[in-house]
Amino acid sequence: MIAALVLACALLQGADELEKRAPIAHVAGFESISQVTFAADPARPHRLVATHVFPGRTKWLLTLAAEPNKARSAFYRSGKSWRALDEGVVASRELGGDERSQLAHFFSLREALVLWPDGRAWTGDGSSRRATVEGGTLVAELGAESLPTRIAWHDGTDVELEALREIVWRTEPVQNGRRAPASFTLTARGAAVWRETVHSLDFSAAYLDSFFTPPDRRAAQTGQKSAQHGEWVELPTCAVRRLACECEPDEPWKSQVTKILAAREALAKDPALRGVVLEDAVEVELDASGRPTAAYARLADPAAELPAGFVRRPGASALSLRFAPERFAPELALARLVERVPAGARAGRAYVRIGASGPNDTAQLVLAVVPAD
């Protein structure tokens, strides 16, 4: 018991060490979803979800592209805490030494790329720029439109350690005129680590600080899980499209679900979406009183190119409550989750996730919880 209390205090102290969130050039953070092909394992493409919030909050999640819901490894930075969660294990490990240094360089290079030319005090003229960073120097080589084709991390003796090379940029801006990288090669000491193709880049992800801590270190920050009072979950970035059906606040729940699932089936058979794979489940959005207002279908692959009518919904931390349909009182269940929203956060959008089995299937109430500031 004493040992558990000591651990909880240590975790809470670690959370308190985080610097206050501070946007860079009006950007609070970003999340990219990419396909990466390792030079050492080209036959098995991977997916990388990289989430950065400023300052000092980062999570990288690597999965096999063919199994995006099965995590292979994850890397976390939360202030001064650097940890990794390896494939097939429950307990995370602390990162240190060269492994931590290299990961810090990888994180810094990605931030320099996505924020270009903001976030660093770049100096120089012609086709070369330099920026001093803690422990080294970032060196950029510019190409067309003054966009970098290469960004490298140099140590104190000006020797290149890691770099992003062969950078290709998208022609269309993604936010407020900001350009987005399309692909690049990550190298370490001159050797290719992987080739990366960026499928999506979003600047609206709203995760709580606990998201940047491995699950085994998270209990003291978010409270213990409770199936009756709601569990903490992470909502990944997804792609959704509103279904062509009207939600009536006073219509019986089972009747609404049947109508919504029929609209989802009609959308799946739309000739304009031939080849597009939808998730079996649907979302029913609720207002603050727990009344249905709209319904949405999801793409099975959130990294796929967006078909007409679909939009990307940014990821978020959330509270979740599972229920049997015959016992579901939306207003009471939603109020129960709202009560669990911690200080420094606020309730976001709420929805019910319903499986393809129909109105008699167990459903899931989800309440996004986002930072208050």
CATH number at residue 195: 2.50.20
Structural domain count of the chain: 2
Last residue of a domain, one of 138, 171, 202: 202
Q: Is 212 part of a structural domain of the chain? A: no
The full DSSP string for 209-274 is GGGGS-GGG-HHHH---BTTTBEEEEE--EEEEE-S-PPPTTS-HHHHHHHHHHHHHHHHT-GGGT
267 and 356 in a single domain? The answer is yes
Q: Is 186 part of a structural domain of the chain? A: yes
d(CA 220, CA 243): 39
Residue with tokens 């079996």: 280
Cβ neighbours, 10 Å, residue 162: 23
Q: Is 5 part of a structural domain of the chain? A: no
Spell out the per-residue pLDDT of the chain, length 373, in tens: 444 434 444 444 444 478 999 999 999 999 999 999 999 999 999 999 999 999 999 999 999 988 876 768 999 999 999 999 998 888 999 999 999 999 999 999 999 999 999 999 999 999 999 999 999 999 999 999 999 999 999 999 999 999 999 999 999 888 778 899 999 999 999 999 999 999 999 998 889 999 999 999 986 545 554 555 688 999 989 999 999 988 777 788 888 888 898 999 999 999 999 999 999 889 999 999 888 899 999 999 888 889 999 999 999 999 999 887 666 677 888 999 999 999 899 999 999 998 876 666 678 999 999 998 7
Q: Is 208 part of a structural domain of the chain? A: no
Q: Is 210 part of a structural domain of the chain? A: no
194 and 229 in a single domain? The answer is no
Q: Is 313 part of a structural domain of the chain? A: yes
194 and 259 in a single domain? The answer is no
227 and 278 in a single domain? The answer is yes
Query: Which contiguous run of DSSP H or E holds residue 4?
Result: helix 2-16
Longest dimension (CA), the chain: 71
187 and 252 in a single domain? The answer is no
Q: Is 32 part of a structural domain of the chain? A: yes
**Tokens describing residue 107:** 């994180």
Q: Is 6 part of a structural domain of the chain? A: no
Closest C-alpha among 179, 194, 193 to residue 143: 179
Residue 109 belongs to what domain range? 15-202
34 and 170 in a single domain? The answer is yes
Query: Which contiguous run of DSSP H or E holds residue 85?
Result: strand 81-85
231 and 313 in a single domain? The answer is yes
End-to-end CA distance of the chain: 35
232 and 196 in a single domain? The answer is no
175 and 264 in a single domain? The answer is no
Contact 86, 73 (CB under 8 A): yes
227 and 347 in a single domain? The answer is yes
Q: What is the CATH number of the domain that holds 366?
A: 3.20.80.10
What amino acid occupies position 324? A
276 and 175 in a single domain? The answer is no
196 and 227 in a single domain? The answer is no
**pTM value?**
0.87
| pLDDT of res. 4 | 41
| pLDDT of res. 182 | 97
